[in-house]
Amino acid sequence: MSTPGTLTGPARTDPTAPGYRPGRTLPLRVEAVRQLRRRRTQVMAAVLALLPVVMVAAFAIGGEPERRGRVNLMDTATASGLNFAAVCL
């Protein structure tokens, strides 16, 4: 009968996980194709491809402020890179 903390089988000297065999892993190309075929990956790629178009439309619709001296959100976005990233989010 074994007590807690003692090993009952031969001690493992292997630093790898049990059942891991390096020769049985999938090649990088196979993993990449698997990722690219996923619907969620395709949807996110489409969203990222359309994001510049959405930003151009937002800046075009933003237009000029009605009153002089009034700052709108699009003016703030174009003031610096950090502001632009915050507006995009």
Give residue-wise pLDDT tens across range 24-71. 888 899 999 999 999 999 999 999 999 989 888 887 886 666 667 777
Note whether residue 3 is domain-resident.
no
Note whether residue 31 is domain-resident.
yes
Provide the 8-state DSSP code for 8.
S
Q: What is the pTM of this model?
A: 0.51
Note whether residue 42 is domain-resident.
yes
Name which residue leads in pLDDT, 72 or 79.
79
Note whether residue 83 is domain-resident.
yes
Name the domain count of the chain. Answer: 1
Note whether residue 17 is domain-resident.
no
pLDDT at 77: 79
Domain that holds residue 71: 24-88
> Concatenated DSSP letters for 20-84?
--GGGSPPHHHHHHHHHTSHHHHHHHHHHHHHHHHHHHHHHHH---SSTT---HHHHHTT-HHHH
d(CA 55, CA 73): 13
Tokens of 25: 């892993």
Note whether residue 30 is domain-resident.
yes
